[in-house]
Amino acid sequence: MSTLLAIMILAATTVLVLGNLRGVAADTYQALAGATARTRDRGLLIPRLAFAALWLLIFVLGYF
């Protein structure tokens, strides 16, 4: 019963997200653009990109 409820909730959520995909994409773009602009204005863009690249490298190399 719990599995059926979980699958129904997952399906409903998927339908809602896919139905509003354009709005989700626009909101995501706005959030990322705003965060990037604020980070660039403070002069923290390069250090944060380097930190993100370091973590990405750690996780990617962890799978090999």
> pLDDT-derived band of residue 64, with 50, 70 and 90 as boundaries?
confident
Distance of CA 57 to the CA centre of its chain: 18
- Distance CA(30)–CA(17), nearest Å, equals 17
CA distances from 6 to 3, 18, 51, 60 (A): 5, 18, 36, 31
Quote the pTM value.
0.57
Q: What is the pLDDT of residue 2?
A: 84
Q: What is the pLDDT of residue 8?
A: 96
pLDDT one-digit tens code per residue, 4-58: 999 999 999 999 989 999 998 999 999 999 999 999 999 998 999 999 999 999 9
